[in-house]
Amino acid sequence: GQQVMQIPQYQHVQEGEDFTTYCNSSTTLSNIQWYKQRPGGHPVFLIQLVKSGEVKKQKRLTFQFGEAKKNSSLHITATQTTDVGTYFCAPRGVTGGGNKLTFGTGTQLKVEL
Amino acid sequence: DGGITQSPKYLFRKEGQNVTLSCEQNLNHDAMYWYRQDPGQGLRLIYYSQIVNDFQKGDIAEGYSVSREKKESFPLTVTSAQKNPTAFYLCASSITGAPNQPQHFGDGTRLSIL
């Protein structure tokens, strides 16, 4: 079955530094979604990647989908305190599973002033 | 405002007691989901429903039960068979029949054992 690893588990950065989290799958993916969960809050959908090699940007956030569609990354440029939270990838395998998402374990980001 | 409402926000369960968590949505979504989140961990799927009067087990369904009698409502019962129920429970919904649709989450219910 599909195994998903998200790294790192934790990341502390100084405000203004960059941050990257990676999501790696043992199998080829159909698509991948990314969510952000603020401390004490609920996950909020950020973006979905579908195409091989796809790159999407949202202001300081850059999302990439690998050429082989087995990995993805989220990069934040010049972090701010508002970026604090846990970032989850939610990949969907090519073998289906309907509307059922599998969430990665998440990367918890802390930003220090 | 369209959204998902979960209640209560905090819930305490006594040993041997069943408790029911409410989830209501007015987004007109067909699919609804229940997840469990333990401290510092990701989300694990308990049950999901893609249409009224139908639901499927997720990865950790043991000790839980659901019903889907109305499109808007997907209550979760944590039964006494669930020996470690303390967790953060999240309800979500999405447009069914479209596997690429994002999921929208409620604010969650924190369940603790007394």
- Average the pLDDT over B43-61 and give the result: 94
Q: Please report which confidence band the pLDDT of residue B20 belongs to, taking 50, 70 and 90 as the band edges.
A: very high
Q: Which of A90, A100, A32 is nearest to A66 (CA)?
A: A32
Contact B43 A103 (CB under 8 A): yes
End-to-end CA gap in chain B: 35
DSSP SS3 for B102: coil
How far apart CA A25 and CA A3 sit, in angstroms, is 6
CA B33 to chain centre: 6
Which positions in chain A touch B102 (Cβ < 8 Å)?
33, 45, 48
Phi, psi of B42 (to 5 degrees): -80, -170
Which positions in chain A touch B105 (Cβ < 8 Å)?
42-44
Instruction: Give Cβ neighbours of residue B31 (< 8 Å, ≥ 6 apart).
Output: A99, B48, B49, B50, B51, B93, B94, B95, B96
Who wins on pLDDT, A81 or A3?
A: A81
Contact A100 B107 (CB under 8 A): no
Output the pLDDT for position A45. Answer: 96
Write out the residues of chain A at the interface with chain B, using a CB-CB cutoff of 8 A: 6, 30-31, 33, 41-45, 48, 50, 88, 92, 98-106, 108
Q: In this prediction, what percent of chain B has a pLDDT beyond 70?
A: 96
Contact B45 A31 (CB under 8 A): no
Residue identified by tokens 């990257």 is A20
Contact A98 B50 (CB under 8 A): yes
Q: Please report which confidence band the pLDDT of residue B97 belongs to, taking 50, 70 and 90 as the band edges.
A: low
- Average the pLDDT over B2-30 and give the result: 93
